Every structure is written in structure tokens, then in C-alpha cells.
């Protein structure tokens, strides 16, 4: 298989690309689309072919997709970016990439998403067939743009010939990802009992690799998360941060962001290498 990967300099991509290259089968090739030329030599040294340019440049897309069998799209914009840029990258550029993939006969398209697309809670962990219901404390342009691109890829006629697979990621951490240490900036004002669903970057890579190679997964969506959501209090304790505020109203939506991983376990054999945040802590993998 000849795979194009986007978003390789983000934390998810940084964890995914070396694992994709390491497990490559005989004859497999990997190409990356990269904006930062200063990183090209390092990625080429890992064994990836490099195409320099922007995801939103149609000429660049043509070069990046030439001869490719599959795409793993991890390019994303979310924190510290204007809403217009979030939509331009997460929705518009992703759909342009998919259109270009269809035009060039690419067979498979793996789209990375987020568990935030579910919106408000359902009184239970979210399952992949739950519709997106906008709302809740984390419903932003990021969640909306991810929900919109998924809907288009999975339902629009123009993508009918493309084998689309979607991986919805929980809160990603591990291997130096700065998101976990920074989480206390906003959890400090949440109820101490509020639960968050996490996933280690190694298990994100594992899940996406399973999506990429699995036969018969076309048109399927999979939640990718660990086995044990953790409370705000537990996160603060693990990080050695001050305890969260005590004068906060109880969580009105205790199931927000929590997902079932039954489908990916049952259909693709996914088992987290780090089933809990504590496992990763004890292994020195934070």
C-alpha cells in the first residue's frame, strides 16, 4: 500500500508516522505532505517520501496524491486559531483533499475526528451511530467543523467511490504532548467529579493503523479511547496541580465526551497499550 499522511508534525502525527513506517509491509511506501521544509530531512531519514507545500494548494495536492492508494488525514486546527481558520483547515481543506483523492483514483481515506462531535450527552457512553447533537461545554467551531466534514465524507454522493473510515479520538496525551499538563487551565473551574475520556498517543496510532489496514471497514466510524475515564480531581492529583475549585455546580451533563469502544475492540481487535492514565504514568509514558 502507498499511503499519503497529512498532519505529520502535530502530536498525533508525530506518534503515528514512525509506527506506520516501522510496521510497513514489503513494498509499502509512505509519503507525507509537509509545509515546514526544515523538518523534511528528519522525516525523509525515517523513510518517508516528502512533498513540500500547503494542503490548500491544488497543485501540491496533485503531486502529493500521485500514485497513492490510501490517505490518512490528520491535519487539524483547533486551539489558538480563529474560527474561520478552523473551518478552512478541518472542513474545507479536508474535503478538497478527499475530492482530489477521488479524482486520482485513491481507494481508501482515513479521517481523524474527535469525540466532541457527539455534542450533548445521552445518559450513557456515546456510540458511533449516535447523531451529532450540537451543544455542551466543548461545542466549538472545532467540534462543528469535524462533524460537518464527517457527514460530508460519509453521505455525499461525490465521495461514494471512496472507502472512508473515521477514527474519533478522545483527549490525546502522552509522549510529551503538552495538552495534558495544560488541561488544568480549564479543568480548574470544573466540578471535581467531572470525567474526561483520554487516549494515549500510542493507542491513537494503534487505532488508526487498524483503520488503515482493516478489510471491510469502509464507511465505518470508530471511537478510539482508553478503558477508564478519569475525574478532574484525579487529573489534578496526578499532575500535582492545585485541587479544582470546590464551589462549582454539579456537572449538568456527566456523560459529555465519554464514549464506548466496543465497536473497535470487537471489529478491529483494538486493546489499549495504556488502558488508563495511571498505567501510562507508571510506565513513564506521559
The per-residue pLDDT for 47 is: 95
Q: What is the DSSP string of 171-197?
A: EEE-TT-THHHHTHHHHTTS-TT-EE-
Taking residues 126-131, report their average pLDDT. Answer: 97
Cα 148 off chain centre by: 15
The per-residue pLDDT for 205 is: 97
The per-residue pLDDT for 177 is: 83
| DSSP SS3 for 137 | coil
The per-residue pLDDT for 155 is: 97
Over 90: is that where the pLDDT of 121 sits? no
The per-residue pLDDT for 258 is: 96
237-244 contacts at long range (C-beta below 8 A, 24 or more positions apart): 238/277, 238/278, 238/281, 239/180, 239/181, 239/183, 239/184, 241/184, 241/188, 242/184, 242/188, 243/192, 244/187, 244/188, 244/189, 244/190, 244/191, 244/192
Over 90: is that where the pLDDT of 138 sits? no
Give percent of the chain above pLDDT 90.
83
pTM: 0.96
The per-residue pLDDT for 64 is: 97
Q: Give the domain range for residue 186.
A: 2-282
Taking residues 59-73, report their average pLDDT. Answer: 97
Question: Predicted confidence band at 80 (pLDDT cuts at 50, 70, 90)?
Answer: confident
pLDDT per position as a tens digit, 223-277: 999 999 999 999 999 999 988 888 888 877 889 899 999 999 999 999 999 999 9
* Other CB atoms within 10 A of residue 17 CB: 23
- The DSSP secondary-structure symbol of 89 reads I
Give percent of the chain above pLDDT 70.
100
The per-residue pLDDT for 136 is: 85
Over 90: is that where the pLDDT of 27 sits? no
CB burial of 198-230 (b: ≥16 within 10 Å; e: otherwise) equals bbbbbbbbbbbbbbbbbeebeebbbbbbbeebb
Over 80: is that where the pLDDT of 26 sits? no
Q: Which three cell numbers stand for residue 40?
A: 523534511
Higher pLDDT, 20 or 186: 20
> Rounded mean pLDDT of the chain?
94
CB burial of 255-264 (b: ≥16 within 10 Å; e: otherwise) equals bbbbbebebb
The per-residue pLDDT for 189 is: 87
pLDDT per position as a tens digit, 161-200: 999 999 999 999 999 888 888 888 889 889 999 999 999 9
C-alpha to C-alpha distance for 69 and 3, rounded to whole angstroms: 6
The per-residue pLDDT for 218 is: 96
- The DSSP bridge pattern shows strands 70-73 and 163-169 to be unpaired
Residue pair 231/276 in contact (Cβ under 8 Å)? The answer is no
Domain total for the chain? 1
The per-residue pLDDT for 127 is: 98
Cell numbers 479511547 label which residue?
Answer: 225
The per-residue pLDDT for 81 is: 87
The per-residue pLDDT for 31 is: 98
Residue pair 71/110 in contact (Cβ under 8 Å)? The answer is yes
- The enclosing domain of 118 has a CATH number of 3.40.50.720
Amino acid at each position: 500500500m502507498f499511503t499519503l499522511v497529512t498532519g505529520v508534525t502535530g502530536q498525533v502525527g508525530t506518534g503515528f508516522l514512525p509506527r506506520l513506517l516501522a510496521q510497513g509491509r514489503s513494498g509499502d511506501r509512505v509519503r507525507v505532505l509537509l509545509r515546514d521544509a526544515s523538518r523534511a530531512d528528519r522525516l525523509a531519514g525515517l523513510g518517508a517520501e516528502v512533498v513540500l507545500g500547503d494542503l490548500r494548494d491544488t497543485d501540491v495536492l496533485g503531486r502529493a496524491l500521485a500514485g497513492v492508494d490510501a490517505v490518512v488525514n490528520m491535519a487539524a486546527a483547533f486551539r489558538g486559531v480563529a474560527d474561520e481558520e478552523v473551518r478552512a483547515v478541518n472542513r474545507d481543506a479536508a474535503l478538497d483533499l478527499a475530492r482530489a483523492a477521488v479524482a486520482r483514483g485513491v481507494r481508501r481515506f482515513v479521517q481523524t475526528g474527535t469525540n466532541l462531535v457527539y455534542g450533548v450527552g445521552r445518559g450513557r457512553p456515546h456510540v458511533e451511530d449516535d447523531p451529532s447533537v450540537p451543544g455542551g461545554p466543548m461545542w466549538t467551531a472545532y467540534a462543528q467543523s469535524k462533524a460537518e466534514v464527517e457527514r460530508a465524507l460519509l453521505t455525499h454522493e461525490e465521495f461514494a467511490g471512496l472507502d472512508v473510515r473515521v477514527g474519533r479520538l478522545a483527549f490525546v496525551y502522552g509522549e510529551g504532548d503538552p495538552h495534558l499538563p495544560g488541561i488544568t487551565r480549564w479543568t480548574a473551574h470544573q466540578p471535581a467529579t467531572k470525567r474526561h475520556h483520554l487516549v494515549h498517543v500510542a493507542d491513537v496510532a494503534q487505532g488508526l493503523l487498524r483503520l488503515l489496514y482493516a478489510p471491510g471497514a469502509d464507511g465505518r466510524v470508530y471511537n478510539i479511547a482508553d478503558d477508564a475515564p478519569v475525574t478532574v480531581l484525579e487529573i489534578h492529583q496526578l499532575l500535582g496541580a492545585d485541587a479544582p475549585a470546590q464551589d462549582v455546580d454539579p456537572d449538568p451533563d456527566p456523560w459529555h465526551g465519554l464514549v464506548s469502544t466496543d465497536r473497535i475492540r470487537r471489529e478491529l481487535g483494538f486493546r489499549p497499550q495504556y488502558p488508563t492514565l495511571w498505567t501510562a504514568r507508571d510506565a513513564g509514558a506521559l
